[in-house]
Structure 1
Amino acid sequence: MTQVQPTNYRALNQQLNALLEGENHLIAILSNSSALINEHLNQINWVGFYLIENNELILGPFQGRPACVHIKIGSGVCGMAVKEKQIQRVADVTQFKGHIACDVNSKSEIVLPVRKNGEIIGVLDIDAPITDRFTQTDEEGLSETVKVIERFI
């Protein structure tokens, strides 16, 4: 397995908080958030947001290759995160029943629900070109990242 350098989530979240300070436009918040996360995490090949619209997930701001635009709630890793209302951390996407391969180079994935006023409005989705990329530490750090974003949306 490729060695992944640990992410300093404390620094990431402090920078994100400062970057978003005073901003209230959803697309601007998500755009800068995806850019900053992309700069801080190594061994990833896609980071971005899907937003719920008309009872499906629609592609939002992201960093990476072109992606799937429409995802049904309950389908794929992103759709399951919404349906189950919880983080999905997948070590090997080929073992995830119903995985949607937007990029065949993605091998592992983590998806975190994003809430506004307690309701899920979308997800933060991060893909990696290696299996077992995301650890419990990543899950905890990214959960804090999502909390920073939620404070501004």
Structure 2
Amino acid sequence: MSEKHQTALIAQQVDALLYHETHNVSNLANAAALLKDSLPNISWAGFYLYDQEQNDLYLGPFAGKVACMHIALGKGVCGTAFSTQQTQIVPDVHQFAGHIACDSATNSEMVVPLIKKGQPIGVLDLDSLEFDRFSSKDQNDLEEFAHALVAHLTI
């Protein structure tokens, strides 16, 4: 299956995978594994979840190397995506002011905000060792993936 076709199907796959499943951690863990296994040239796929009491993003389920434990709102690509509630595509993370290098081998990143019923709940974070890995097509498909995923999360 071509990369283009695989990415377009990923929202349907997560919806089927999580059908009638209600445990947030399990759902996010399988969603991260699905992304890491399905998308080529991804070195890390996972989630940072918003903690209202701490007013920070905290590491959630992921697939990949060890990661930063928490990220301040507005800091790095994840904190920026959460604060602006806009997907961030960064072709070269080394050129992103304030980039947080959890894995120094990462060269590009895409972060999609997770929103349910108008309430921000966290972000989906994808890293690649390739420069300029993420396209506007990836953005559309992964925003659709995020929308399908949050339908299976309780808040």
Aligned to 1:46: 44
Aligned to 1:93: 93
Aligned to 1:109: 109
Aligned-residue RMSD, C-alpha: 1.3
Return the alpha-carbon distance in structure 1 between the equivalents of residues 45 and 142 of structure 2: 12
Q: Output the amino acid matched with 2:86.
A: Q
**1:2-151 residue pairs with structure 2 within 5 A?**
5-6=3-4, 8-53=6-51, 54-151=54-151
* Aligned-residue identity in percent: 44
3-state DSSP of counterpart to 1:152: coil
Q: Which runs of 5+ in 1 are unaligned?
A: none
1:63 Cα deviation after fit: 0.2
Q: TM-score, normalised on structure 1?
A: 0.94
Return the alpha-carbon distance in structure 1 between the equivalents of residues 133 and 7 of structure 2: 15
1:93 Cα deviation after fit: 0.2
User: Does structure 2 retain, via aligned residues, the 8 Å contact 1:7–1:41?
Assistant: no
> How many pairs are equivalent?
150
* Per-residue CA distance 1:23-44 (angstroms, 9 max, x = gap): 1111111001001011111111
3-state DSSP of counterpart to 2:66: coil
Return the alpha-carbon distance in structure 1 between the equivalents of residues 102 and 5 of structure 2: 25
1:106 Cα deviation after fit: 0.3
Q: Which runs of 5+ in 2 are unaligned?
A: none
After TM superposition, which residue ranges in structure 1, 4 or more long, deviate above 3 angstroms? 4-7
1:7 Cα deviation after fit: 5.2
